Chains A and B, each alone.
Chain A
Amino acid sequence: MPLNRPKMFFLSMSFLLIIFSVPIIQSVMELARHERPQCIDILLQPPTAANLRRFENDLERLSWFSRELQPLMRYLQFIVLKDAGEKALLGKDGWFFYKSGVRYLTEPWPPRGHSSQKYEDPLPAILRFRDDLLERGIQLLVIPAPNKSSIYPEQLTSRAKTISAPVYTHTLQVIDLLRANNVDVLDLFDLYSSQKNDFLCYLPQDTHWSPEGMRFAGTTVAEMLVSRSWITKGDSQFERKIIRLHRYGDILRMLSNPMIERLYSPEELNCTQVVQSQNGRLFAPLPDAEILVMGDSFLRIYEQDEPKSAGFTAHLAYELQQPIAAIIIDGGASTLVRQQLSRKPDLLKNKKVVIWEFVERDIRFGLEGWKVVPLPHTPAI
């Protein structure tokens, strides 16, 4: 059936109006801010593939249209489809899961033959690090921190209730391999799985352990170090004070959408801050301590984040009543922390034990993979 002109005009003009108005408004806004219209940038650089990608990405990232409407669309998708976006999965009862953590568990590892994914075996890097430390008379304790989905799979899918076998098989393989090579490993998986009915080991909105879960890890590590006679309890005077705080979890924050955040209440956290008994000052890492802890955001939470000095390092210091040194790099526990230590070998002075924490998904997704990083020979140690 032929269309009549008003109808045709209406659709065509509306379409043109939409596609023309966005770049025009964008340019006007930029001119009003006394900026050069961004679309002109394309003429100011050589048309290499990299420059074109950058130009295209910037154009989209800085577009008023994307910035204004993206939050609304993500909110609608969250409400209608229960879709938490590219980084998160929505579980039951307000639980959120980090998608990379789940993908680490569901996808094959090591990758299958056809995969374009780069595979870096963590074993050579860990063994070399252990051997380098042993040469200096330093013990290494490795702690793979469980993904939340490994401990609370039933909060993601009820299918998990029907199985008794663990879901973290890839990490179990790594732990077994490390133990077979005489690397000391703390298996928090079993411990948390047996304790999770007594207290909440992980925060529903967060990728990380809860204050209780973190304290449990700290106590367990301290007991382990003492029972192996690697460390004896010191005489520093640390004490704890309770601090309650309310905050949104990092997964909810990752959604970068205040409208979604408003659908949830902040989580109430019962933190315990570690302070020096003599002067009431907050615990702070000490580079000359006998123990060095290195790891990722599992060590950062509560320690460098609010309320501060209430994280794993502080609690280990409290449990052992002695100072602790620390290297903490978000997402960088696989290689970056060792590289930093290699650049600052003075941190190994006076050390008896290095505690190396990394979240289990870093076995696959760790920044910079699992590079072998030899420690420099420092006669001073």
Chain B
Amino acid sequence: MIFTSHIFIFYFLPFVLLVYYSLPVKRNFFLLVLSYIFYGWWDPRFVLLMFLATLVNYICGRIIAAAPVGSSKRYWAVFASVAISLSMLGFFKYFMFVQNNLNFLLQILGSKVFSIYQVTLPIGISFYIFQSLSYTVDVYRGTSPPVRTFWDFACFVALFPQLIAGPIVRYNTIADQLASRAHTLDKFTSGTALFILGFAKKLFLANMIGQAADAAFGAETLCASDAWFGVVAYAFQIYFDFSGYSDMAIGLGRMFGFEFPRNFDAPYLADSITDFWRRWHISLSRFLRDYLYIPLGGNRIGPRRTYVNLTIVMLLGGLWHGASWVFVIWGAYHGLLLAFERWRGKESLYNVLPKPFRIAITFVLVLFSWVLFRCPTLEGAVQFFKAMSGMATAEGGSVLLAGELYTQGNFLMMGLCAILAFQPVQAFDWVKNLTWARMCFLIVLFFFTLMTMSAQSFNPFLYYQF
């Protein structure tokens, strides 16, 4: 189920709110059951997989918590948790990738290729595996207490607002809230406001501009202007899609008394790649920092090792996004840029320029990375880069792409997206000061967004697949 669907808005959410606030006890258990329904809506069989991941990490957490500090039992329990969780992720997300690459190598060696075993990728697996892993690691490190009950832990892993696309909520962030949390009108209202804004970002902006991005990236050939228009459209689509989803998740969390961490902070206002990663998918950056970069040695072993660590972290971050070489290259690109800026003392090469230029150059560097992110193959990305650099031109039927890209609607949406993306007060900040005017605006916006939802058939969630 997705948030921007008729069934979620008009049936699932009202039902959950009504029953949740009517229940005097066992609210976490109720949220767990409804979260499993939410997740199982896509394919009920995969609820079992999530339950298995939850059970394994819960048992490992119990063993870790019960064993004395420094004992081998703790070590083996955390090892088992990491190994089993990553094996699940590896099988469902990377098994086909490995098979394809093995076949490629076999072809080069002139051997017979084997038939590919098809594996369906369960939605949100990267998110809930990371979250459940964070629990055992935190308990192992002693930074979190063990969970009170299995049902609380299962609720944490499956909690529907942030289940599919984050923000990645670490166990120690939410442990106290699982035990006890305040349900206030203040929190509910700000949650409602944030949900409405995220809902509008997704349906009004991301979905509308996403059609232009799809047309450009789907074209056979492109000229430079089409390619630039397409990649800027995609940059806006992915930002408003993903940040809209995060806003909805945080908003829904607040409606049920939870406080999830902020996930975006005006990322296209970043004036360096280092700054960009402080603002984009913040929960993933922090997760990778705490559970990968620091265990690898972080910046403690010397400058060279720091650069290597940064590149490794971003390479794996790329692979986390998808089992494809373009994601690996996307990660490497960001890793190398981060290492380069670290070498310059966390400053970009263009640091001497005025801030608007720094922002513009960073945005262009990010656009290049979005080409890698969006193109399904390296060959496609190279073609797209050629078009962006003016080394290719629209030929044959691709000439007609202009009729699909340069429309009044796309220009209006591009302008609106640019205004909203390049200003510092994002939804998360905007809802902190709700005036009467803003309240009225939100209600009208919600109504119009619902109307848009009823009229739209194009409604992909880009981060669904991760």
Q: Could you list which residues of chain A lie within 8 angstroms of chain B, going by C-beta atoms?
A: 1-3, 5, 7-12, 14-16, 18-20, 22-23, 26, 39, 47-49, 52, 56, 59-60, 63, 65-66, 69-70, 72-74, 76-77, 80-83, 85-86, 89-91, 97, 102-109, 112-115, 149-150, 153, 156-157, 159-160, 163, 165-170
Contact = CB atoms under 8 A, between A and B. Distances in A.
Nearest to B45: A49
A6 to B, nearest CB: 9
Contacts of B457: 86
A168 B396 CA distance: 7
Contacts of A8: 185-186, 188-189
A156 B400 contact: yes
A167 B406 contact: no
Interface in B223-252: none
Given A7-B436, A113-B377, A159-B399, A106 B11 contact: no
A114 B432 CA distance: 45
Q: How large is the interface on B (under 10, 10 to 19, 20 to 34, 35 or more residues)?
A: 35 or more
Closest A-B pairs by Cβ, 5 of them: A105-B397, A81-B409, A169-B396, A157-B403, A156-B403
Contacts of A97: 403
B88 to A, nearest CB: 21
B33 interface: no
Interface in B306-347: none
Contact of B439 (A10, A18, A48, A85): A10
A78 to B, nearest CB: 9
Interface in B1-51: 5-7, 9-11, 13-14, 17-18, 40-44
14 contacts: A8-B188, A19-B9, A52-B44, A59-B6, A80-B412, A81-B407, A86-B458, A91-B403, A103-B218, A105-B400, A115-B376, A160-B400, A167-B397, A167-B399
A168 B188 CA distance: 56
Given A18-B443, A159-B394, A163-B399, 6 more contacts: A7-B434, A23-B14, A80-B412, A82-B408, A106-B400, A157-B399
A18 B450 contact: yes
B402 interface: yes
B275 interface: no
A3 B187 CA distance: 10
B406 A157 contact: yes
A39 B408 contact: no
B290 interface: no
Contacts of A73: 448, 451-452, 454-455
Contacts of A165: 395-396
B455 A74 contact: yes
A114 B189 contact: no
A184 B121 CA distance: 47
A51 B412 CA distance: 39
Given A23-B11, A89-B404, A106 B454 contact: no
B380 to A, nearest CB: 7
Contact of A102 (B185, B400, B443): B400
B217 to A, nearest CB: 10
A60 B6 contact: yes
Contact of A83 (B41, B186, B377, B407): B407
A115 B40 CA distance: 28
Nearest to B401: A106
Overall SS of chain B's interface: helix
B71 interface: no
A170 B434 contact: no
B219 A106 contact: yes
Contacts of B96: none
A299 B447 CA distance: 44
Contacts of A103: 218
A3 B189 contact: yes
Nearest to B187: A8
B399 A77 contact: no
Contacts of A14: 443
* Of A5, A105, A150, most B-chain CB atoms within 10 Å: A105
A141 B93 CA distance: 50
A59 B18 CA distance: 20
B186 A3 contact: yes
B394 to A, nearest CB: 8
Nearest to A147: B397
Interface string B193-228: 100100000000000100000010011100000000
A114 to B, nearest CB: 4
A271 B303 CA distance: 81
B442 interface: yes
A139 to B, nearest CB: 31
Given A48-B44, A49-B43, A169-B397, A69 B404 contact: no
A106 B215 contact: yes
B192 interface: yes
A49 B451 CA distance: 27
Contacts of A150: 397
A14 B400 CA distance: 45
Contacts of A105: 396-398, 400
Contacts of A83: 208, 407, 409
A35 B103 CA distance: 57
B433 interface: yes
Contact of B218 (A20, A107, A156, A160): A107
B413 interface: yes
Given A106-B404, A160-B399, A112 B377 contact: yes
A170 B221 CA distance: 13
